[in-house]
Amino acid sequence: MNQTPRSDAASLQNLTQKRFVFVLLDQFTLLPFASAVECLRVANRMSGQNLYEYVLLSEDGEAIPCSVGSKFGVDHALIELKRDDVVLVCGGMNIRDNSTARILAWLRRESRKGVSIGSLCTGSYTLAKAGLLDGKRATIHWENIDGFSEDFADIELSKSVYVLDGKRMTAAGGTASLDLMLKLIAVDHGEDLANAVADQLIYSNIRTEQDTQRLSVPTRIGVRHPKLSVVIQKMEANIEEPISPSILAQDVGMSTRQLERLFRRYLNRSPKRYYMELRLQKARNLLMQTDLSVINVALACGFASPSHFSKCYRAHYDTTPYRERGTKSGIPG
């Protein structure tokens, strides 16, 4: 395989090796972690130097299970860090329960040294819980945005694939950690090395902080109809106070009947039904990710009464909101 050009490699001599410290939380999501580590390994290979090292930590130093059930051995428990270390908290399932008091206290202590601290996937919740995102911009996996926003209303949450804000960095999960790590490599050692790493990983579409996580509405629903896309975007943006189908139709220059036909043709359901499903999905996210009461979840999703909410929820999910809350296992990032 091609290496970084010798002239570039020579310019990397005598640079201090940077250490990344991965804190693996119980049930951490495997893909973001593996992607991040691979970027560091390939950067070393392509540069011909040991630019990066990494260590793995868990709360007690014991092997820890990831999202697919396999256990990962780690190098240490929660050790004392060096000021130049970069910490990445790797979250995943059950992030609220796995953001333990011991982890939070350790993060606060190390942050006081000025250590750069970031997160992958749902690890943003852990950083926020520790108070490390106060006054900062951040991101988290899109499925966890509703719960995060309810718990940390004062944190400026972005839907970007990753966010860099001073000594804080957050990546949304999935392949977003690739984009974050490639950005960090580019900052440290230049675009040529970052591009070489991406090329080795067969990652041809590097995203920036301006790129959002989710596919566009037409791509997600498999339909490229401009008026349908606009209506769905309006629905997604107005969950707490739903807009009537007649007003949605009027906003895109259609009659209510034309809107009904459009939804039936492309989505095989009425606008009312589609809107209800969006609201119930957000309700489920809030039930699984927050401690909001069922009544407050209902209000946040546009239901005037808990009884109506419960009836609709049961019809869609074949269980009640109360039972869902009692059996929640956390939504993965």
Active site residues: 121
CA 212, CA 221: separation in Å to the nearest integer?
17
Could you please report the per-residue DSSP string of 139-157? E--GGGHHHHHHH-TTSEE
| Alpha-carbon span 223 to 124, nearest angstrom | 33
Q: How far is CA 285 from CA 12, 125, 135, 231, in A?
A: 46, 14, 25, 22
Side-chain-side CA neighbours of residue 265 (13 Å)? 10
Q: Output DSSP code: residue 302.
A: T
- Residue 323 Cα distances to 260, 314, 320, angstroms: 34, 10, 5
Closest CA to 169 of 189, 185, 149: 185
Residue 225's nearest CA partner among 252, 256, 255 is 252
Tokens of 187: 């900052």
Would you state the structure tokens that stand for residue 207, as one six-digit string? 């995203």
**Tokens encoding 305:** 């009464």
Closest Cα to residue 260, out of 243, 273, 278? 273
**CA 32/CA 121 separation, integer angstroms:** 7
Cβ-based burial of 213 (10 A; exposed 0-12, middle 13-18, buried ≥19): buried
Write out the H or E segment, with its range, that includes residue 24. Answer: strand 18-24
Partners of residue 121 on adjacent β-strands: none
User: Tokens representing 40?
Assistant: 């560091």
Binning the chain into helix, strand and coil, the percentages to the nearest 5 are 50, 15, 40
